Amino acid sequence: MFLFALGAGAAIAQGTPPKPIDIPPWFATTFLDFREDIADAAREHKRLLVYFGQDGCPYCARLMGVNFSQRSIVETTRRHFIAIALDLWGDRDTTWVDGSAMPEKELARKLGVQFTPTVLFFDEQGKVVARIDGYFPPQRFEAVLDYVAGRHEHEQTLAAWLQTHVKETASPTLHDEPFFMAPPYDLAHRTGGKPLAVIFETVDCPACDELHREGFRNPEVMAQVRRFDVARFPIFATTPLVTPAGHRTTAAAWARELGIIYTPSVVFFDADGREVFRIDAYLRPFHFSSSFAYAADRGYLAEPSFQRWLRARAERLRAEGKTVDLWN
């Protein structure tokens, strides 16, 4: 678990303004009356999740950029919780479960929030049934979601649950490939006339690990990948780049502009720098290689539906006597 102390945020506030933390757009906006929020969640057969963060907090950025870019975490959270974000230093009015009113920063003091991020999970009666002080990597965080969503606090402690339910860990570092473009990243002025594939990834991402372990080790995938210039960026990085349209920005800002939510995501651009197609998950090798072929062969011009184009491609390959395995 990683912690970001309050004092760090205060120190940052005295100098350069800290960088704002991007909150997922599906977090709820409410009047911050927790009695109402808990009741609303219960009516939807959900529970309330409350996040305390602060601008400039690297582990808050990691929670939002890494954990909440993974499909299983996002789907579990949206299915089972109403999520609300609070600013540790904020002045918005809140009403606590006992009816007492106070600004966000006073509520943080009342609840003893000493580190960011801090995430509280409430049951239907307004009791905090689980609390995360600091950053949990995705596998551990998802196990907490499962614990609270399943109402397992009636059966065992969270610590006991985590001992047996934390999934296999993912790589804490990004994987490099020899065909990735090297900096400086000027995506508007590339030579060779190839189309462009831009991959957004994060650390601690099992699907990203699988992409490198299986996808980029598959000969059919690599036959299609070699038809492209390929750039890879961490979704939350401040890496400077020039977009295909010629705009100077950073990887994180461009990912937000493109609406990237999940990792890994691959965005395909034609040789003129126009986005033509994207995928927001690692697909099995046949589908993954076909997505590159769809963009390289400009299949989208004749068939806007990738699934129809994919089915026709599979049938054509089978007619040529080739084996098409949709999974392996």
pLDDT confidence of 14, banded at 50, 70, 90?
Answer: very low
Q: In angstroms, how far apart are the furthest CA atoms of the chain?
A: 73
- Separation CA 166–CA 23 (nearest Å): 25
| Higher pLDDT among residues 249 and 290, named by residue | 249
pLDDT for res 199? 97
Closest by CA to 207, choosing from 168, 151, 156, 239, is 168
Fold of the domain built from segment(s) 4-165: Glutaredoxin (3.40.30)
Give yes or no for a contact between 30 and 84, defined as CB atoms under 8 angstroms apart: yes
pLDDT for res 327? 53
Rounded percentage of the chain residues whose pLDDT exceeds 90 = 63
Amino acid 317 reads L
- pLDDT, tens digit, 9 for 90 and up, residues 197-211: 999 999 988 889 989
Closest by CA to 65, choosing from 250, 248, 245, is 250
Q: How far from each other are the two terminal CA atoms of the chain, in whole angstroms?
A: 36
pLDDT for res 239? 96
- Separation CA 316–CA 301 (nearest Å): 18
Q: What is the mean pLDDT of residues 251-269?
A: 91
SS3 129: strand
Q: Which of 120-134, 296-310, 311-325 has the highest mean pLDDT?
A: 120-134
pLDDT for res 1? 52
Residues of the chain with CATH 3.40.30.10: 4-165, 185-319
DSSP 158-199: HHHHHHHHPPPP--SSPPP-TTBPPSSEETTS-SS---EEEE
Pull the structure tokens for residue 325: 């395995």
SS3 79: helix
Give yes or no for a contact between 1 and 136, defined as CB atoms under 8 angstroms apart: yes
SS3 92: coil
pLDDT for res 326? 55
CB atoms within 10 A of CB 280: 16
DSSP 230-287: EEEEETT---EEE-TTS-EEEHHHHHHHHT--SSSEEEEE-TTS-EEEEESSPPPHHH
User: Does 11 have pLDDT greater than 60?
Assistant: no
Closest by CA to 229, choosing from 260, 261, 270, is 270
pLDDT confidence of 192, banded at 50, 70, 90?
Answer: confident
Kindly state which CATH superfamily the domain 185-319 is placed in: Glutaredoxin (3.40.30.10)
Place of tokens 């011009």: 301
- The phi-psi region of residue 282 (left if phi > 0; otherwise alpha if psi is between -120 and 50; otherwise beta) is beta
- Separation CA 226–CA 104 (nearest Å): 52
Q: What is the mean pLDDT of residues 29-50?
A: 97
- pLDDT, tens digit, 9 for 90 and up, residues 89-125: 999 999 999 999 999 999 998 998 877 899 999 999 9
Pull the structure tokens for residue 250: 């950073």
pLDDT for res 166? 85
* Mean per-residue pLDDT over the chain, rounded: 89
pLDDT for res 7? 46
Give yes or no for a contact between 177 and 232, defined as CB atoms under 8 angstroms apart: yes
Pull the structure tokens for residue 271: 């040789």
User: Does 8 have pLDDT greater than 50?
Assistant: no
pLDDT for res 328? 53
pLDDT for res 207? 85
- Separation CA 110–CA 128 (nearest Å): 14
